[in-house]
Amino acid sequence: MLSLTPKIDPTIQSLLDDRDFLAELLDALGSPLALVLPQRVMRNVQAFRETYRRHQLTGRLYYAHKANRSSAILRELAAGDADVDVASLGELQHALSAGFTPGRIVATGPKNREFLWLAARTGVTVSVDSADELAELAGIVAGHRLPRVPVSLRLSGFTSAGVRVLTRRSRFGTPAGALADLLDLLEKRADQVELTGVAYHLDTIGLPEKAVAVEGCLVALDQCRARGLRPRSLDIGGGFGVNYLADGAEWERWTTELGQAVLGRRPPLTWEGHGYGLRAEGGTLRGDLALYPAYRPVAGAAYLDRLLGTPAPERGQPLGRLLLDHMYDLDIEPGRALLDQCGVILARVLSVTGETVRLDLNARDVSLEEHGVQMDPVVIPRTDNRRIERSHAGVHLLGNLCLEADLITRRKVFLPVVPRPGDLLAFVNTAGYFMDFSATNALHQPVARKVAVYRSGGVRRWCLDDRYWPVHPRQETP
């Protein structure tokens, strides 16, 4: 079987083993159903903090709120020592209502005037993308006679001698070569804004490119100090990643066999022979695999540790050492990595016909395909006394929309047992981006209700996500 077995930690495995609990939840609240584990997120926070301690660094850990809309997770983080990165007016309002004080919030992403107004009014740090945005913010502060607003300058397009230009484009930030003009404007509006640091955003997992960006930001910070400014932090954004699979050999085997299928040397492994970026030309495999590397043994806090140990391209010293020597804070914005093992999406099996399994959820309810992540769901039979049929044939998972394109994944999924109508499929480790980032009410199908599962008094409990408040004593996760 060409399985892609998900990595499951004891917290989620304990939940999956409680089949009666899951069945009762689904019967009561319907399919699909999203479960979040707010207490589990603090373990990921501590893993990042340990990396900071190892490198003797300080700084802010901003949770990238866009990864999940959950109120329970946000409130649990507010009760701890993490901060939050908000990328819309609604996210800012949500963070404030969850208990985050303005000093623990950074506003990022595209910003309209209303977003900038509330950011300025409350005094959160604004990560500025452009000169126009900086001027707009300063105008709001001046027009409403508000106190100075802390800002960081998001940069992009770094270069390094002896290293290729970073050709990877970003939608965010001012080109590093235009920093001088941006600082001119900042100095003119010194009564309205105060520089706290610089930042970058790179949509890559490549350490060499990120090393160039970090060193480029250090150069920018030196330029700021040369003008008499006093920046204190470097925000390197997110992109720390998650390891979704339990076995790297399974990933290698599946990607190899996908190539063979694209070349026609074995039966198709995908719906209509989809190649995920690969194609056959004259008997040769061409293209690049357009999928997230689902097996990533170095991810999350371990990836940050690896990045901080990477030598700067020009200065040669490890990046973490350079930050420490320059006495700069390191700020990060993990989203996916902070939600590792913090959620499950449940769906009921509606029908099984040949090689197809139809589920009572759609591709937007668990957007693995949209985000390019491949991993198998877990079959949870509804009854213990039936004869379990072992499976060696692959099946296609179909959604509940009246659309040909509603495939939970184009990949043929090889499940260890044959599901039956009424069984549950659990898509594990789906809190980060897959749970609600793309969810819609298309065809009036319901969006998954969200439930917080937690432990209190030694007992597993649940409540609707928006009813969860971290007022219980802190203890082990469910």
Among 38, 127, 13, 30, CA closest to 359: 30
Residue 129 · residue 110 · CB < 8 Å: yes
For residue 139 the two structure tokens come to 């105008």
| b (16+ CB within 10 A) / e for 221-236 | bebbeeeebebebbbb
- 262-313 pLDDT tens trace: 999 999 999 999 999 999 999 999 999 999 999 999 999 999 999 999 999 9
- 63-121 pLDDT tens trace: 999 999 999 999 999 999 999 999 999 999 999 999 999 999 999 999 999 999 999 99
**Main-chain dihedrals φ then ψ at residue 151, nearest 5 degrees:** -135, 150
Provide CB contacts within 8 A for 287, sequence distance 6+.
275, 277, 278, 279
**Cα–Cα dist 205/211, whole Å:** 11
How many Cβ atoms from other residues are within 10 Å of residue 246's Cβ? 15
Residue 322 · residue 312 · CB < 8 Å: yes
- 180-206 pLDDT tens trace: 999 999 999 999 999 999 999 888 888
Evaluate if residue 161 carries a pLDDT over 80: no
Evaluate if residue 390 carries a pLDDT over 80: no
